[in-house]
Structure 1
Amino acid sequence: MDKADIQKAEKYYVRHLKEVILPFWIPDCIDRKFGGYLNCYDNTGKELLSYNKFTWSQGRFLWVFSELSMCEDSVVTKEEKEVFLEYAKIGVDFLSEHVFLNESKVCTYLMDREGNPIPADESGILSSSIYADFFVAAGFAKYADAAKDYKIFELAEKMYQSIRKRIEQGTYLTLPYPIPEGLRMHGIPMIFLNLSTEMYVSAAGLGLKNDVYSRDMQMFYTDILTNFVDQKHVLREMITTDNCQVDNYFGEYCNPGHTMEDIWFILKAAHYLGDRSVLPLCTEILKNVYKIGWDKDYGGFRLFVHHDGGVPHGKSAGLEKEPMFRQIEENHNNKLWWPHSEALYSFLLAYFQSGDEELLAIYREVFDYTFKLFPNPDSSVGEWIQIRQRDGRPDDKVVALPVKDPYHITRNLILIIQLLNEQAHKADFEGEEENFADKKIR
Structure 2
Amino acid sequence: MAAILKQYHKRIQTELDRVVDFWLKYSPDEQHGGFFTCIGKDGKIYDELKYVWLQGRQVWMYCRLYRTMERFHRPEILEAAKSGGAFLQKFAKVQPSTGQKKCAFCLTRDGRALKVQRTIFSECFYVMAMDELARVTEDPAMQADAESMMDQLVHWVRNDSSGLGRPKLPGDQPVNSMAVPMMLLCLVDQLTEGRKELKGKYRELGDWCVKQILQHVQRDGKAILENVSPNGEELPGCQGRLQNPGHALEAGWFLLQYAKAQGDKELQKVAVEKFMEVPFLTGWDKKHGGLFYFLDVDGHCPTQLEWNMKLWWPHCEALISYLMAYEHFRDPAMLNRFAQIYDYTFTHFSDEENGEWFGYLSQHGEVVLDFKGGPFKGFFHVPRCLYMCEKMLDHLLATAESSK
CA–CA distance in 2 between the matches of 1:373 and 1:61?
24
Question: Which residue is equivalent to 1:320?
Answer: none
Question: Which residue is equivalent to 1:384?
Answer: 357
| Residue number among 7, 31, 34 corresponding to 2:32 in the alignment | 34
User: Does the Cα contact within 8 Å between 1:252 and 1:312 map onto a contact in 2?
Assistant: no
Displacement, 1:300? 0.2
1:295-306 equivalence runs, <5 A: 295-306=285-296
RMSD over aligned Cα, in angstroms? Answer: 2.5
Question: Which residue is equivalent to 2:186?
Answer: 194
User: Does the Cα contact within 8 Å between 1:56 and 1:131 map onto a contact in 2?
Assistant: yes
1:213-292 equivalence runs, <5 A: 213-225=202-214, 227-230=215-218, 231-285=220-274, 286-292=276-282
Displacement, 1:401? 6.1
Displacement, 1:423? 1.9
Letter in structure 1 aligned against 2:76: V
1:309-328 equivalence runs, <5 A: 312=301, 325=303, 328=304
Name whichever of 62-71 and 140-149 sits farther off. Answer: 140-149
Displacement, 1:104? 5.2
CA–CA distance in 2 between the matches of 1:397 and 1:415?
25
Letter in structure 2 aligned against 1:67: R
Question: Which residue is equivalent to 1:108?
Answer: 104
Letter in structure 1 aligned against 2:191: M
CA–CA distance in 2 between the matches of 1:45 and 1:249?
38
CA–CA distance in 1 between the matches of 2:163 and 2:101?
13
Question: Which residue is equivalent to 2:162?
Answer: 171
Displacement, 1:3? 3.3
Identity %: 25
CA–CA distance in 1 between the matches of 2:149 and 2:334?
37
1:142-201 deviation digits (Å, cap 9, x = unpaired): 2222332221111000000011111221236599xx996332211111111111111111
1:33-182 equivalence runs, <5 A: 33-42=31-40, 44=41, 46-73=43-70, 76=71, 78=73, 80=74, 82-102=75-95, 105-119=101-115, 126-168=116-158, 169-171=160-162, 181-182=173-174
Please list every run of 5 or more consecutive structure 1 residues that lacks an aligned counterpart in the other structure: 120-125, 314-324, 432-442
Letter in structure 2 aligned against 1:155: D
Cα 1:181–1:190 change in 2 (3 A) is same
User: Does the Cα contact within 8 Å between 2:66 and 2:72 map onto a contact in 1?
Assistant: no
Do structure 1's residue 348 and structure 2's residue 336 form an aligned pair? Answer: no
Displacement, 1:248? 2.0
User: Does the Cα contact within 8 Å between 2:39 and 2:374 map onto a contact in 1?
Assistant: no
Displacement, 1:7? 3.0
Displacement, 1:419? 1.0
User: Does the Cα contact within 8 Å between 2:51 and 2:107 map onto a contact in 1?
Assistant: yes
Please list every run of 5 or more consecutive structure 2 residues that lacks an aligned counterpart in the other structure: none
Displacement, 1:272? 2.2
Cα 1:238–1:404 change in 2 (3 A) is closer
TM-score relative to the length of structure 2? 0.90
User: Does the Cα contact within 8 Å between 2:256 and 2:272 map onto a contact in 1?
Assistant: no
Cα 1:54–1:193 change in 2 (3 A) is same
| Residue number among 384, 399, 423 corresponding to 2:396 in the alignment | 423
Say how many residue pairs are matched.
Answer: 394
User: Does the Cα contact within 8 Å between 1:41 and 1:404 map onto a contact in 2?
Assistant: no
Displacement, 1:46? 4.5
CA–CA distance in 1 between the matches of 2:143 and 2:150?
10
CA–CA distance in 2 between the matches of 1:41 and 1:228?
35
1:251-299 deviation digits (Å, cap 9, x = unpaired): 1120011011111111112222232321211111211111110000000
CA–CA distance in 1 between the matches of 2:148 and 2:184?
15
- 2:180 aligned counterpart, secondary structure: helix
Cα 1:311–1:417 change in 2 (3 A) is farther
Question: Which residue is equivalent to 1:185?
Answer: 177
Cα 1:297–1:31 change in 2 (3 A) is same
Question: Which residue is equivalent to 2:16?
Answer: 17
Name whichever of 103-112 and 297-306 sits farther off. Answer: 103-112
Name whichever of 21-30 and 155-164 sits farther off. Answer: 21-30
Do structure 1's residue 336 and structure 2's residue 311 form an aligned pair? Answer: yes
